[in-house]
Amino acid sequence: MPVSSDYLAYVLEQLAGLAGLSARRMFGGVGLYCDELFFALLDNDTLYLRVNDDNRADYTSRGMSQFRPYADRPELSMSYYETPADVLEDTAQLVSWARRSVAVAVLAGKRPARTAPPGGRPRGRPKAPAPRARK
């Protein structure tokens, strides 16, 4: 669902203490970035912050819901959780939670590089045919 201009302005104001903050509209929602790292999203006038195993309990212990992009497919979810109202209203606390979400985004970007499978060729890439012998 769309994000109202007023809600977007409010969230950006609350997060003004987060250096490098930018917002980009996408797929009817808004993505929030810190120095080009995607760490949060807005959908249906709700702020969702990125989580991993280190900070997920902060959200689940407060009964916050996980972002589900498709209403008709509830089994599909993403690693973003709704921000508690009291956190959203407290600028210092919200910036602190947002910084943790930025750290999660940094860690997610440091996945090990993919290596070629045995045989030395990347998967999905066809092997060149052997040249034909001339008669």
Give the pairing of strands 21-26 and 29-34: antiparallel
Each of the 135 residues of the chain gets a pLDDT tens digit; together they read 589 999 999 999 999 999 999 999 988 789 999 998 999 999 989 999 999 988 888 898 988 887 766 565 555 556 889 999 999 999 999 999 999 999 998 888 765 555 555 555 555 555 666 667 666
For residues 39 and 105, is the Cβ–Cβ distance under 8 A?
Answer: yes
- DSSP codes, 17-62: TSTTEEEEEETTEEEEEETTEEEEEEETTEEEEE--TTTHHHHHTT
The DSSP symbol for 69 reads S
> What beta strand segments (E) does 44-131 contain?
46-50, 80-82
Q: Residue 135's pLDDT is what?
A: 61
In sequence order, the 6+-apart residues with CB closer than 8 A to the CB of 55 are 97, 100, 101, 104
Residues 47, 37: Cα–Cα separation, whole Å: 16
Query: Which domains are seen in the chain, by residue range?
Result: 5-108 (3.30.1460.30)
